[in-house]
Structure formats: C-alpha cells, structure tokens
Amino acid sequence: GRDLICIQSMDGMLMLFEQESYAFGRFLPGFLLPGPLAYSSRTDSFITVSSCQQVESYKYQVLAFATDADERQDTEQQKLSSGKRLVVDWILNIGEQALDICIVSFNQGASSVFVLGERNFFCLKDNGQIRFMKKLDYSPSCFIPYCSVQEGTVNTLIANHSKILNVYQDVTLKWATQLPCIPVSVKVANFQDLKGVIVTLSDDGHLQCSYLGTDPSLFQAPKVDSREINYEEMNAEMKELQKIIREATKTQDILPESEKQRDITVIAEVSADLDKESQAIDSEVKAGAVPSVTVKITIQSRVTAQKPSLAVCVQAPLAVTCDQFVFDDLEPDSSETVVLSVFLKENCSPPELEGTCMVSYNTPTELNPEGIPRVSQCSFSLPLKLVCFPAQPSKAANHKLTIDTNKPPISFVTIFPDFVDPSEGDQANALGFQFLTGSKATLLASKTSQRYRIQSDQLEDLWLVTKELIYRLEEHFKKQNCKDFACTFSGSIPLQEYFELIDRHFELRLNAEKYQELLSERAVQFRAIERRLLTRFKDKTPAPLQHLDTLLEGTFREVSAV
Amino acid sequence: EPLFQAWSYFRRRKFRECADVCSQLLERPPSEQVAGAGPGREVEAAWSLKTRALTEMVYVDEIDMDQEGIAEMILDENAVAQVARPGTSLKLPGTGQGGGPSPAVRPVTQSGRPITGFVRPSTQGGRPSTMEQAIRTPRTALTARPITSASGGYIRPGTASMLTNPDGPFINLSRLNLTKYAQKPKLAKALFEYIFHHENDIKNALDLAALATEHAQFKDWWWKVQIGKCYYRLGLYREAEKQFKSALKQQDMVDTFLYLAKVYLRLDQPVTALNLFKQGLERFPGEVTLICGIARIYEEMNNISSAAEYYKDVLKQDNTHVEAIACIGSNHFYSDQPEIALRFYRRLLQMGVYNCQLFNNLGLCCFYAQQYDMTLSSFERALFLAENEEETADVWYNLGHVAVGIGDLNLAYQCFKLTLVNNNDYAEAYNNLAVLEMRKGHTEQARALLQTASSLAPHMYEPHFNIAILSEKVGDLQRSYTAAQKSEEAFPGHVDTQQLLKQLKEHFAML
C-alpha cells in the first residue's frame, strides 16, 4: 500500500523515496548520460539502458544493499556491514542508444520489456533475451505498447520524426497514420465515456487526443497553376511558335556568323623581327640559339562579354610560351592585350608556319543571364626566320623542284630581304637556308628563264621554302598590281619519294600500334602479378613470395621500357 | 541545467543546437564545472553527447551504402570461380532460369539486367570484365562510376567535418590516444561512430575497434560488427565475413545478418546470401529488411517472378514499403498490365511520394491503359516537378513516345529534340529520332544519329539493328552485316535480327 518513487538525476544517481521520506540513493556504475528507466514489478528490478549501449537490469534488493561503486574511500567497517558492490542482474548489448523503455504484461504468463532504440525496436524477455526485434527505417520519437488483441502478440504505437504514427502488431505494420506534429510522448488513455484515445504531446506543448480515423489522409498534390484557356490566343501563339520552329529546323546546321556581326574581334600581330632575347623554354632543338618571335594578341569587345578566355594554338613542333589566358568580364568597347612568343620546340621542321587564337565568351541576354556561349577566332602566320637562318647555298642536292612562272625573275634581294645580305648586291641568284634542325635547302633563280629551283637533301625540307617563295612572289606581284601571275610546276612530281615517306609514316604508325598493344599486354600481366601479391600479403600465414616480387619488378621494368 | 538542455535537444533531433550547447559546456574553464559524481564526468558527458550529435547529423545507414569502383572490381581477388555455374553468380547477366523478360519488352541496363523499379546505389553499373573494357565503357551522366570507391560517394560524408566546424575539426584524430578511450566503454562507442561516420577515417576507426574489442575480451558482438564494417570498407571481405559470423554466434541481430549478406553479395555468392537471409528470417520472422534483401537478389539474378513474390511478402508485413510497391508496379508495367501498375503507382502517390519520376511512370501507365485524359496532365506535373535536366529529359522522352503512339510524328520529333537538349547522352532518344528521320528519308542524318546512339549505349540492340536495316536498304551489305552481328550480340534472341542475318548470308552466298 505504499508508494515508492525512484528519481534518476543527471549525474547518474538513483534516489528512492518511500512516500515522502528519502530512503537511499545509489550511483549507477559506468554512468555518463541518463538513459530511459523502468521498473519491472515481476522481477522487482529497475531496467535502464546505459551509455555503453547495453540494457541493464538491477534488482531492487541489490540496489538497496549495495555500496556505491564510486565510493572507494569507504572504510573497512562499512564495507562489511553494507554488503557488496552494485552488481547487475543481466546485461544485453543492443549496440545503440535507447529512447524509451516500457515493461508490460498483458497476460499473466510473461511480461515483456520493450526497448525503443534509435534504429531498432526490441522486445525482450524477463531474463534479457530478445523475443523479437524490428529494424526501423525511420527515426522514431516515442512509443507505447498498449494492448494485445490476439493471444501472444502485443500492439505498439511508434511515432517518428516524419510525423507518422505506426501501429504494429509484434513486427507487422497494421496501420499508419499522419500526425499534425512530431510527438515527444504518446499514450493511450481511457476517459469516462471515451475509450482508447491516443494522446500525443508535441514539442511545443500541444496536447492532442485523437482516434484512428478511417478517412485516409490522402496526400493532396498541389495544383499546377491552371489558368483559363483562351483558345484563340493559344492558337495564335501556337502558330507563331510553329513558325519559329519551322524556321529553325530549316537551317539544320548552325552557320557561323559573318565577321561583321562579331561582338568580339581578335587581332594577332606578329612582330617583324625576331626577339632580341630568345624567349624559348625547354627547346629540344640542338642548334645553339633557338629564336623566338613575339605575337601580340588584342581582343576588342563591342558588348559585354562574360568569362572570356583566350587559347592560342600552334602546331607541334612549334610551341608558345603561354597558351591559355583568362580575363575578367569585358565591358562594352574595351580591349585586352596579351603578348606571347612562339618558338620551335621539338627537333624537326614544322609542317606549317601558322597559328590560331580563339576566344570563347558568353554574351548575356535578357532571358538568359548565364549568357550564350560564343567563339571568335583569327589566325596568324609566322616568319620563316623562326625555323631557319641564311647559309651558304650548296650546288648539289638529292631532291630538286623547279617552278615555272609567267613573269621575269625577281631578285632575291626584293623578295627575301631578310635572308640576303644587301652587300652581295643584285647578282645573288642563289639563296641557302639552314634549318634549325640541321638540314639545308637552297633556292636558285634562273637568270634567263622564268624559273626558280628549290633543292635539298631531304624531300620534306622543300615544302616550307617552296611555300614561302610562292607566297612572297604572289605578294610581290600583288603590290605591283599584276593580276595574272601564276606559278606552275611542269616536271614530274616526285611521287616515288613521296610514297616512300608515306610508307615510312605508315610503318611508324603500325609500330606505335604494336607498342600500344604490347603496353596493354604488359599492363595486364602487371595487374595479374599485383593481384597475386595482394592475396599473398593478405594471408595471415605469410607464405613465401615465390619470386613474385622479382616477376613484378621485371614486368614493371618492361612496362617502363615500352 | 545546460547539460539537460543539450540532452533534450538531442532527443528531439535538434542536433545543431545540441552541439552548440555542448561546445559551450566544454569551453567553460574547469574550475566552474560543478563536480557531480566525480570531476570531469560532466565534461565527458558533454563530449560524448556532442560526438553523438555530430554523428547523427551525417548518419547514413551503412547497409545502404554501396559503391563499387573500377579498381576494386579489377583487383577483385575474392572471385571464387572465374566461370560460375548458371544461377550462382551475379556477374553473368541473363542467368535467370526462365521467367526473365526479354530485352524487347523490358529495357536493360549496361550489364544486361532488366531495369528495376527503384534506383539503388548498386543497381546501375554492371561488372566489366577487364580494365580496358571498364575504361572504354561510355560514360554518361547516369552511369559514371568512380575509379575507386574511396573517391566516390564517401567523399560527401568525409567532408562533413570541414563544413560544420570552420575552425578545425572537433576532435583531432591524430592526437587522440586510442588506447585510453578503448578502455572506457561508455565513451568508446560514441567515439567510434563519430570517427566512422563523421570523420570517415576507417583506419583509425579500425584501430579503436580492435583495441576496444580486446578490452572487452572479445565478448562484445557490437565491436565485432564494427570491425567487420571497417574491414568491408577496406575491401577485406573474408576478414569481414569472419567478424560478422563471430558476432552472429554471440547475438542474433538483424543488422549483422544484413551486413554479412552484403559481404556475400560482394563476394558474388548470391545463393549463400539467400540462405543467410532465410536463416535470418527463421530467427526474426517477418523482418521486412531481410525479405526485401531476398527480393533484391532475385531481381538482380533476373528471376523476376520470385522477386515479385518476395516483394509481395514485404507488403504483407509493411504495406507502406515504397521500394516494394515501386518494384511490383514496374513489374506489372513491363508484363503488359499497365492498369495494375497504375494502381500501385497511385498508391505511392497517396502515400505522399511526390516527385517527377512517379508522375512520369503514372503518365506512361495512363497512356498504355488508354486513359488518355490523365496522360498529359501527369507529364505536365512531372515537368513541373523535375529537379534537374536528366529528369526533364526523361519526361520529354516519354512524351515523345506518347506522340509516336498517337501518330503525331511532328510532335514526337520535337519532343525527342527537347530530350537531347536536356540530356545530350540520351541514346534512346537518338535512336528514336533516327527512326523518324529514316521515315522522312533523311538517310545520312539517320545514320549519324544511330551511330551516336550505338556509341553511347552499346548494350542496346535497337540502334545496331536499325543501322543494319538502314544499311541493307541502301545496299551497304557489309556494314549491315556487322551491325546485325552487334545487334545479335546485344540480344541473342531477337528474331528479326536473325532473319536479317540469314537473308544477308544468302546474299553473300549468291555472290
């Protein structure tokens, strides 16, 4: 007939009161943060979940007579009189923190301990064995086992943080219902003429009594804004749009805009002279000084351009000192200028002496603040002096090429002023080119006929000189307003040599492919050995490596060699 | 009482407030701290609470995390047999013992598995057989696979610490004396979860777990499971298996079963995993996660009918299970019962699933169930709800389908174009657009589109087959033959391809 009250404090002390009078207090061992606490009358014990993520059960008897685990300074006497240290009745490791504990016994036979963990829901027997458990795929907030309808089962209400109250019969979901708020506590109450009311208490103190309704709380999808449809207007708009679409589909390819409409113009100026101090970096050319030439690129913008970036590209073996530039957003009618140098990087003559620079930028429009991506580009040509310098002409050569023109020959002093030493005078009818890579080419002009001859020991060296010659001749005659200038080649094209070169190229290609195959084969082998080694090393019992390491090293060397 | 306040915040899942209160507690000078049962106890309590709060903020159930990188797949030394018997391995697609639908009816993923009704992390990519193939597999926005799992999805949880604390992480792991903490079981578990989930530092977590389990004299199953988790993350599956098995011996837990099954799946032993799940079901009858695991395995093994059975079991236990409803729905859809599928999808809508994909499915179901009035409004909503361009592309693709269905080829053409505007890697749209172009007689454009489609999705047989037909029409028999062969490779049972091949062979024989 007496009421006993047990209070757990934040520091882990259990205080027991008999009616109003303080009976005793006890510290729980290994206490850190308070867990849920419940009293089981059948076994006369307190059940809690400790910070070690264990369900622990303490007998009342043991609590009453035990000394505090922490009070080590007890005298001998006290120890003798007050019995032993606090010993737990049983422990069950559930591996997670618990939110609540409930002990119920609906039928006389067995009582069950229900523990609501953070991720699982447990039902334990009196002695701490799991009767059943259920993994929850939501984070629960509170629960109450309330009654048993069927023999041997218990119904439970579990509320969760997504505002749903679930009704379980053992582990089977029987009903799910939506709540207006997240409850912190749920109970089933019986009032005078109301039975089995679900009472929930919310975070902000709202108490709510409710029944499980049969009206499903259907999810109402929000309406898409449906306006009154004016069919005539719609028709007109549709026609308009159809027209636009038809227009758009007619011009399948997106044609580049004409130069005039360009919002951004790019101008590249190649300086006439080579740099006084060569800007070449890491050049592999063996010749002593590698010349470089300065290119000045100017970007002029007529509109606002966002994120403009400039890319300069020249064909290998040429290289630039810097090939990427990023600018701040350009205002209308503003310009940016960058300066860079071009030089010969690899040890072979380039196929062409041209470069391109490209600017990509976004032009924002009213509808599209991100901007429409656009590109503008320009190309520039580099001087021949970048890859060769004047040298003594040589008479004999393996490959010769003769070009006929329909105009009298022009002195080299006029068309190759940068290669001919003016002191030699007009008579010079032979011009030598020494490429940086080492080979030589000679240009001969016939004094009597309208012919030029280019000769070199290597076929490929003819090209650059020939191109330059034709280009300069054309320029020269354009200046003189001579429109019917033409160059022709009458001799037989040196196809044989050309084919030989192609054959060699093809062979190299084949070789490259072969090497690639070899490389992938070796890589496969390497991975296989790695795998074997991995298994070896993972084994608890170290087995001899059986020269796998040597094999690995060998393969690695092969891979690197390839 | 600030500690109580923090604890209350924690219970109400207001973790940020909880962490803030705990930080204030921890910053107080030691003299002010009220000595409770012992000095420093309150500090420990606040510390532990803060670790828990920070962990909960970024907690993701480890069971659902699964991402297999290329490197793991290639250096997978755990493979039991290179050539598995049919029905015992997940590596070989199409090993289902009948019951699996043909790719003509149900689209397949890259690995040749029918697509499932629910997107899970591991359902997307297949297992390429060599490194070269893995690297060459076309990567689109949806199938991109990280090179190693360490660089994939784990990045996000890993960076959480930097986001939450701009002035350095809460716990400096390198300076932590793990041995000391391992001897305090009350602190160690919270600390472990913090290291594992929040800091994502598996090696330190493993060290701590190893020390702690030693301290617990190998009697704590929880630590064994944690060690197993660490081993799993590190790719030591056999060791993980041992730990999980040993944990199961001590204490049956649902989670342990799930982890162990995950290990078996990774070791490519689906049958063992199935048995394990069934064993787990004997212990915990009616456990939804276990049944669902069985269903997923059957689905991956192409045994759709069994999977549907188990999904139905799931619904018997928990009739609000979204994954089960979605999977059964898609199963009905692909077995020509759009009306029934429609009912499942409407159930999902009732439950409050409100996203683009659902309306997309609803729209398609409505269309095939001949409820045309609902079709367009569903798609309208889907477009309204689409969160990114991939989703928008899906909706436009389906609208294109509907347009083809009602014969409005012009609209269909525009829809497919819009699909491509939204998602430039949409192979199916390329294919369909090509068919439309073919009808218009633009052969060259059709060919270009088809080639794009086939290079984007070599696993689809349709583009190959269409190229074959197209080439055959214009008389390019050689190309037709190679394309037909590719088509046959992608879908061996395709009758039209076989007929075409036969026809071509006769042609060649005549020549």
CB atoms B37 and A170 under 8 Å: no
Residue A76 lies in a domain: no
Q: Mind telling me how many Å the CA of B123 is from chain A's nearest CA?
A: 20
Note whether A80 contacts B: Cβ–Cβ < 8 A.
Answer: no
Please determine, for residue A537, whether its predicted confidence score (pLDDT) is greater than 50: yes
Widest distance between CA atoms in chain B: 101
Whole-number mean pLDDT of chain B? 74
Residue A218 lies in a domain: no
Chain A residues with CB-CB distance to B354 below 8 A? 219, 221
Chain A residues with CB-CB distance to B255 below 8 A? 95, 120, 135
Note whether A10 contacts B: Cβ–Cβ < 8 A.
Answer: yes
Q: How far apart are CA A270 and CA A343, in angstroms?
A: 12
Local confidence band at B138 (pLDDT 50, 70, 90 cut-offs): very low
Segment A385-414 shows an average pLDDT of 77
Residues 140-199 of A with CB under 8 A from B: 141, 161, 170-173, 176, 182, 184
Domain that holds residue A516: 498-561
pLDDT at A425: 56
- C-beta of residue A439 within 8 angstroms of C-beta of residue A486: no
pLDDT at A156: 87
pLDDT at A47: 87
Please determine, for residue B64, whether its predicted confidence score (pLDDT) is greater than 80: no
Please tell me which of the candidates A133, A224, A245 has its beta carbon nearest to residue B380: A224
- C-beta of residue A328 within 8 angstroms of C-beta of residue A277: no
Note whether A535 contacts B: Cβ–Cβ < 8 A.
Answer: yes
CB atoms A520 and B221 under 8 Å: no
Residue B10 lies in a domain: yes
Residues 132-161 of B with CB under 8 A from A: 132
Q: Which of A468, A446, A268, A436 minimizes the C-alpha distance to A355?
A: A268
Q: Which of B93, B89, B100 minimizes the C-alpha distance to B303?
A: B100
Higher pLDDT, B278 or A433: B278
What are the tokens at B65?
A: 């995390």
CB atoms A32 and B48 under 8 Å: yes
Provide the pairing of β-strand A207-210 with A264-274. unpaired
Segment A525-539 shows an average pLDDT of 73
Q: Is the dihedral of CA B222, B223, B229, B235 positive or negative?
A: negative
Amino acid found at B128: P
CB atoms A95 and B350 under 8 Å: no
Chain A residues with CB-CB distance to B34 below 8 A? none
> How many structural domains does chain A have?
4
Question: Highest mean pLDDT range out of A454-458, B245-249, B298-302?
Answer: B245-249
> How many structural domains does chain B have?
1
Q: B115 vs B103, B300, B346, B441, CA distance in Å?
A: 10, 9, 21, 33
CB atoms A203 and B352 under 8 Å: no
Residues 251-270 of B with CB under 8 A from A: 251-255, 258
Chain B residues with CB-CB distance to A8 below 8 A? none
Q: How far apart are CA B336 and CA B106, in angstroms?
A: 10
Residue A78 lies in a domain: no
Q: Mind telling me how many Å the CA of B493 is from chain A's nearest CA?
A: 33
Listed range (A218-232, A245-259, A348-362) with the worst mean pLDDT: A245-259
Residue B213 lies in a domain: no
- C-beta of residue B270 within 8 angstroms of C-beta of residue B90: yes
Q: How far apart are CA B89 and CA B96, in angstroms?
A: 10
pLDDT at A35: 81
Same domain assignment for residues A189 and A48: yes
Chain B residues with CB-CB distance to A30 below 8 A? 185-186
Burial B331-340 (b: 16+ CB within 10 A, else e): bbbbbebbeb
Please determine, for residue B463, whether its predicted confidence score (pLDDT) is greater than 80: yes
Residue B401 lies in a domain: no
Q: Which of A266, A292, A263 minimizes the C-alpha distance to A372?
A: A263
What are the tokens at B131?
A: 């490194």
Please tell me which of the candidates B41, B49, B284 has its beta carbon nearest to residue A133: B284
Segment A235-256 shows an average pLDDT of 71
Q: How far apart are CA B280 and CA B254, in angstroms?
A: 7
Please determine, for residue B151, whether its predicted confidence score (pLDDT) is greater than 60: no
Local confidence band at B96 (pLDDT 50, 70, 90 cut-offs): very low
Same domain assignment for residues A25 and A125: yes
Residue B11 lies in a domain: yes
Q: Mind telling me how many Å the CA of B506 is from chain A's nearest CA?
A: 36
Q: Which of B83, B169, B103, B99 minimizes the C-alpha distance to B497?
A: B103
- C-beta of residue A323 within 8 angstroms of C-beta of residue A283: no
pTM: 0.66
The side-by-side arrangement of strands in the sheet containing A130-135 is A98-104, A112-117, A120-124, A130-135
Same domain assignment for residues A42 and A11: yes
CB atoms A134 and B254 under 8 Å: yes
Share of chain A above pLDDT 70, in %: 82
pLDDT tens readout for residues B172-222 = 666 667 777 777 777 788 888 888 877 777 788 888 888 888 887 878 888
pLDDT at A108: 61
ipTM, 2 dp: 0.72
Same domain assignment for residues A270 and A189: no
pLDDT at A103: 85
Segment B296-301 shows an average pLDDT of 82
Note whether B59 contacts A: Cβ–Cβ < 8 A.
Answer: no
Residues 24-63 of A with CB under 8 A from B: 27, 30-34, 50-53
Listed range (A351-355, A371-375, B263-267) with the worst mean pLDDT: A371-375
Chain A residues with CB-CB distance to B251 below 8 A? 93, 130
Burial B225-240 (b: 16+ CB within 10 A, else e): bbbbbbbbbebbbebb
CB atoms A224 and B381 under 8 Å: yes
Segment A150-168 shows an average pLDDT of 83
Residue A103 lies in a domain: yes
Residues 194-253 of A with CB under 8 A from B: 203, 216, 218-219, 221, 224, 245
CB atoms B186 and A520 under 8 Å: no
Phi/psi at B341 (5° precision): -60, -40
Q: How far apart are CA A115 and CA A142, in angstroms?
A: 10
Residue B406 lies in a domain: no
Work out the burial of residue B264: count CB atoms within 10 Å of its CB; fewer than 13 is exposed, 13-18 middle, 19 or more buried.
Answer: buried
pLDDT at B302: 75
Residue A227 lies in a domain: no
CATH number for the domain harbouring residue A336: 2.60.40.10
CATH number for the domain harbouring residue A451: 3.30.310
Q: Mind telling me how many Å the CA of A10 is from chain B's nearest CA?
A: 7
Q: How far apart are CA B19 and CA B24, in angstroms?
A: 9
Length of chain B: 511
Give the SS3 label for residue A200.
Answer: strand
Provide the pairing of β-strand A292-301 with A207-210. unpaired
Neighbours of A382 (CB within 10 A): 20
Residue A16 lies in a domain: yes
Phi/psi at B79 (5° precision): -55, 130
CB atoms B37 and A70 under 8 Å: yes
Give the SS3 label for residue B216.
Answer: coil
Whole-number mean pLDDT of chain A? 77
Same domain assignment for residues A39 and A162: yes
Q: Mind telling me how many Å the CA of A90 is from chain B's nearest CA?
A: 14
Please tell me which of the candidates B37, B130, B352 has its beta carbon nearest to residue A12: B37
Q: Which of A522, A556, A543, A527 minimizes the C-alpha distance to B76?
A: A527
pLDDT at A415: 75
pLDDT at B287: 84
Note whether A95 contacts B: Cβ–Cβ < 8 A.
Answer: yes
- C-beta of residue B288 within 8 angstroms of C-beta of residue B318: yes
**Extended strands (E) in A327-462:** 334-344, 354-363, 372-381, 388-391, 399-405, 430-435, 440-445, 451-456
Listed range (A22-36, A67-81, A372-386, A518-532) with the worst mean pLDDT: A67-81
Residue B46 lies in a domain: yes
Residue A239 lies in a domain: no
- The residue with tokens 């004997």 is B282
Residue B454 lies in a domain: no
Q: Which of B383, A222, B393, B329 minimizes the C-alpha distance to B375?
A: B383
Residue A196 lies in a domain: yes
Q: How far apart are CA A249 and CA B442, in angstroms?
A: 13
pLDDT tens readout for residues A455-514 = 887 777 777 888 888 888 888 888 887 777 777 777 777 778 788 888 988 898 888 888
Please tell me which of the candidates A32, A95, A245 has its beta carbon nearest to residue B45: A32
DSSP letter for B194, please: I
Amino acid found at A60: Y
Note whether B318 contacts A: Cβ–Cβ < 8 A.
Answer: yes
Same domain assignment for residues A429 and A537: no
Residue B171 lies in a domain: no
What are the tokens at B94?
A: 């199409």
Same domain assignment for residues A464 and A335: no
Q: Mind telling me how many Å the CA of A85 is from chain B's nearest CA?
A: 16
The side-by-side arrangement of strands in the sheet containing A372-381 is A324-326, A306-314, A354-363, A372-381
pLDDT at B208: 85
Q: Please calculate the CA angle B17-B21-B27 and round it to the nearest 5 degrees.
A: 145
Listed range (A218-222, B33-37, B335-339, B444-448) with the worst mean pLDDT: B33-37
Amino acid found at A50: S
- Residue B400: half-sphere exposure toward Cβ, Cα within 13 Å: 25
Segment B269-285 shows an average pLDDT of 87
Chain B residues with CB-CB distance to A120 below 8 A? 254-255
Domain that holds residue B50: 1-30+37-60
Q: How far apart are CA B192 and CA B55, in angstroms?
A: 10
